[in-house]
Structure 1
Amino acid sequence: MTEDTGARADAVRALESQFGELIGQFRRLISEAAHRISPGMLPGAYKLFTTIVRRESITSSALAELLMLDKGQISRTVRELETLGLIQRTPDPSDGRSSLLSATPQGLERLEAARRPQERGLHESLAEWELDDIHRLTALLHALTTGTRPTE
């Protein structure tokens, strides 16, 4: 192992360790946000809901494929989100056998309110950061998640 290879391995291990810390913190934030939307809501239901919000409208099948979940789990969680008034179904104009899932106005309001504390926390954490550093971190994370080389 060359010195450069060893240094790279050490750097990757340090990054992996920090990701572990970040994931733990992220899980806590997701649990708290889910609870703010509806006491007892599980993080998985929150993830499904926020995915529907991000996609604006999506079928249950596409949601199952995207999140790599079985259709039974998706169906149960969709019913829970509908019962809570967070999402609605509308006929899919391209497939009469299917429905599109989308957030209700009430769901969007509750999500915005649930996210406010974590957004405030992120703003506070980044208050002393240079704007260029925030943009650079965003670009680096995007490159990592897409498997592409970071751009300058």
Structure 2
Amino acid sequence: MSAAGAAVPADVDNALAEFQGHLNLIFARARSLWKESAARIHPELQPSGYKLLSFIAREGSTSAHLLAERFEMDKSVVSRQVRMLEDLGLLASRPDDHDGRQRVLTATPTACAVLADIRREYADRLHESLAGLTADEIRAASKVFRHLTEL
């Protein structure tokens, strides 16, 4: 019998159900944080725009094509968000040196400063929330999240 077809002990099944419930809450909280963060930057900024801007700032630069692939978003959605970010002065674009059809997107210094403030605040909140855990417990949680990224 394959591992996928093997019977799962009830305690493991119950633990996985509890884990899945908490994971759903984490996703809901992440969506809420993206919405709050977007509003902190600009009242009209959508959470998807915030996620794109955060990614661009972390990467240094990218293209709309790569953003659409990375976030599995329709190119028209990415294009609208990029245009809004440019209009708000949060994103700069220039022609790609290697492919003039592409644009290289970079976060402006203003965007980078606001994002750094938001990241610091959230890092402080995370540190406070996990303060009761040991380094080994945090590493174990990190291992679980690493496995989840490989789904």
TM-score by length of 2: 0.86
User: Deviation string for 1:43-92 (max 9, x for gaps)?
Assistant: 11111111212322111111111111111111110011111111111221
- How far apart, CA to CA, are the structure 2 residues paired with 1:105 and 1:53? 9
Residue 140, structure 1, aligned to residue 128, structure 2: no
State the superposition RMSD in angstroms. 2.0
Deviation for aligned residue 1:106: 1.2
Which residue pairs with 1:17 in the alignment?
Answer: 21
Gaps of 5+ in 2: none
Structure 1: where are the runs of 5+ without partners? 148-152
Which amino acid letter does the alignment assign opposite residue 17 of structure 2?
R
Partner of 2:74: 70
Secondary structure at the counterpart of residue 133 of structure 2: coil
* Structure 2 SS opposite 1:89: strand
Alignment correspondent of 1:130: 134
Instruction: For 1:26-105, list aligned pairs within 5 A.
Output: 26-105=30-109
Output the CA distance in 2 between the equivalents of 1:72 and 1:3.
45
**Offset, 1:21:** 1.4
Retained in 2: the 8 A contact 1:33–1:115?
A: no
Instruction: Report the CA distance shift for 1:82/1:52 in structure 2 as closer, same or farther (over 3 A).
Output: same
In 2, distance between residues paired with 1:56 and 1:2?
Answer: 46
Aligned-residue sequence identity (percent) comes to: 35
Q: Contact 1:92/1:100 (CA < 8 Å) preserved in 2?
A: yes
Tell me how many residue pairs correspond in the alignment: 147
CA drift at 1:3: 7.6
- Separation of aligned partners in 2, 1:75 and 1:142: 31
- The structure whose residues are more often strand, as a share, is 1
